[in-house]
Amino acid sequence: MNIQNNLAKPNQTIKPNQAFMTNQAFFPNQLGKLVLAALFSAALTACGGGEGGESTNSPVPATTPPAPATPSDNNTSSDASNEQTEAEAANEAADTTAELVSTPDFDFAGSFELDVTIAAAPAGSTQYYVNICSDFEQIEAKEGAPASWQVNYDSCLLRTFITGQAQVFTLSLSEAQSELIAQVWPMENGAIPTDLFWQKQSQSSEWLITL
């Protein structure tokens, strides 16, 4: 038998149970093994492909982009920063206020007290009424009318009757209330008041009103 006819040829389709299955009867064992190895190698090369074979692209791992900052996150950060700044400013103001020192007799309100004593009315006399006010002005005299005082009665600090016993009242005044007017009214028709005045002087804290 011709051995060349039993070798595989290019582009030849090899089927089971054909020439190479029967070559064992004509070739030594070693030669048959070499031929089978060569055929197996050629088959692997044909299946694996060369430069023109298909290439498999490796999958690229997906990258998840970082989540963008939302407006609420920015607002929260800004609010926290503002709160911290305000707290620091409040602490600084508290420290500054704590450094203030005053004397025991200093009055932050700028007010003072005036003791008013209204003497007792004469026995058997007409009943009298008195009002003490802080807002008043003088009206100049005119033809047939003497000078008088116009009083804002909404500014009155005290209204009371003069009784048969002396009375003492304590008025709390501001620095702006440096002058007062006391009007003593007889309780009768067409009465004209008697006007008395008080002006603030150094260490002056008492005022005696008598008829």
Q: How many helices (H) and strands (E) does the chain have?
A: 3, 9
Q: What is the pTM of this model?
A: 0.49
pLDDT at 86: 73
Structural domains present in the chain: 4-46 (no CATH), 111-209 (2.60.40)
Q: 49 or 159: whose pLDDT is higher?
A: 159
For the cut 70, the answer to whether the pLDDT of residue 102 exceeds it is no
CA dist., res. 46 & res. 49, Å (int): 5
Average pLDDT over the chain reads 72
Among 11-15, 38-42, 162-166, 171-175, the range scoring the smallest mean pLDDT is 11-15
- Number of other residues whose CB lies within 10 A of the CB of residue 136: 17
pLDDT at 146: 83
pLDDT at 208: 96
The 10s digit of each residue's pLDDT in 41-91 is 666 665 554 444 444 455 545 555 455 444 455 555 566 666 677 777 666
